[in-house]
Chains A and B, each alone.
Chain A
Amino acid sequence: MAEASRISKFLYTFIVTFIIWLFLTASLDPQELTIGAIFSAIVSALTYDIFTTRGLSNLHPRRIAYAIIYVPYFLWAMIKANLDVAYRVLHPKRPINPGIVECRTVLKNEVGKLALANSITLTPGTITLDVDGDKYFIHWIDVKDSSVEGASENITRPFEKFLKVIFE
């Protein structure tokens, strides 16, 4: 992936920080907007280089649409997984079969890898221990398939189909 131009990176950082400012102040008072624009511009000027590598192309409508759909999808996975862990805790026999499995990911982008690692950790039953290149080492509470392909199919694949569009 080629790096975006500096202007594009700056503008993208500016837009994101300004949106965060709007959420922080929760007001559309012109005074707040002025200061917010100035502060966002300062922060973006200082940090755009580390914040993003792809700049405005992050704001492609298809990516945003997928990101919006991903939120409820992810929340649903989280609720299901939490209920599953509650069941395992409350069950008298505690049906657990823990182990560390290796998964492969198709994601190349670092932010995508971060999002995938966090999605895996936040859905209980799986915790990302380490990420090394395209290898994920995951602690799984109920190992169903310890092979690399099988584990990827069960753990990373459901998220990857979204994250691939959002971040690649």
Chain B
Amino acid sequence: MLKRVLAIITILIIGYWLAEGLANVPFGQDKMLVGQYYLNHVKEQTGAVNAVTAVVVNYRGFDTLGEVTVLFIASTGVAALLWRRKRERTAKTPGSVVLTTGSKLLFPFIVLFGMYIFIHGHLTPGGGFPGGATIATAFLLMYLAFIVYEIPHKGFETTEGLAGMSYVLVGLIGLAIGGYFLFDWIWQTWHWGTSNLGRLFSGGFIPVIYTIIGIKVGTELSGIIDNMLKEEVKE
């Protein structure tokens, strides 16, 4: 009881403190410094109509590379924590015919929609991370509907590694051509798609990188799901 009261008092003090600090930031006023620069120059500098993905992949590409690394470490960490020599699915109840047939029918559509999200990252909200997560949900659906379903591990782990390497490779090509890592060579050196703003084949290397990230995130999260759903088998 005393613990709870103390915790509530502490949280109230912290909340008051934060509210006090935020009270001086007026809502709805133009306070953009760097933001205005992004909004004014995003089209001719990156070719993307979606300013968020331009910032995430182009202006601040390093952060995205970091995020991809974090995800990779997370999936490796889960695999390392749950590693056992012999692990199997232990679910016992098979789904009804309605569930299994429905999942089979939905699976291609979810994957296609995930691909739609990551290829249109420079035009519509979304990008590689939501697209990849959508693809992973398709595999989660298969895992939940079938008691014996397993992703093709070898293919998945190889694809994941290759996608991560391609991201770095795209950055390194930029380093060779433009002088710094993750330089957008497709847009700024080749001027590929410059006449095409707002259509699919534009946006410099954003669609390329988002395709890579989408594949990587999709395979990675599926791998995490696979690891979490398996249990150790007693011999």
Contact = CB atoms under 8 A, between A and B. Distances in A.
Given A24-B113, A29-B199, A31-B200, A43 B101 contact: no
A110 B119 contact: no
B102 A114 contact: yes
Contacts of B72: none
A32 B201 CA distance: 9
Interface string B95-113: 0111011101101110111
Most buried by B among A32, A114, A130: A114
Contact of B97 (A25, A29, A42, A114): A114
Given A31-B200, A32-B200, A17 B96 contact: no
B105 A51 contact: yes
B115 interface: yes
Interface of A: 13, 16-17, 20-21, 24-25, 29, 31-32, 35, 39-40, 42-44, 46-47, 50-51, 110-111, 113-114, 117-118, 128, 130-132
A117 B108 CA distance: 21
A131 B96 contact: yes
7 contacts: A17-B108, A21-B112, A31-B200, A40-B112, A43-B108, A50-B107, A117-B98
Contact of A113 (B98, B108, B115, B199): B98
Contact of B119 (A29, A39, A111, A113): A39
Interface size class for chain B?
Answer: 20 to 34
A46 B105 contact: no
A115 to B, nearest CB: 9
Contacts of B98: 113-114, 117-118, 128, 131
Contacts of A47: 107-108, 111
A113 B116 contact: no
A112 B8 CA distance: 56
Nearest to B120: A25
A43 B111 contact: yes
A42 B109 CA distance: 12
A18 to B, nearest CB: 9
A43 to B, nearest CB: 5
B200 A20 contact: no
A64 to B, nearest CB: 17
A155 to B, nearest CB: 15
**Nearest 4 interchain pairs by C-beta:** A31-B200, A47-B108, A114-B101, A110-B101
Nearest to A33: B200
Nearest to A121: B98
Nearest to B103: A50
B112 A43 contact: yes
Nearest to A39: B115
Nearest to A136: B98
Given A25-B116, A31-B201, A111 B96 contact: no
Nearest to A53: B104
Nearest to B104: A50
Contacts of A51: 104-105, 107-108
Nearest to A25: B116
A138 B109 CA distance: 29
A39 B108 contact: no
B101 A21 contact: no
A111 B108 contact: no
Contacts of B109: 17, 20
A63 to B, nearest CB: 16
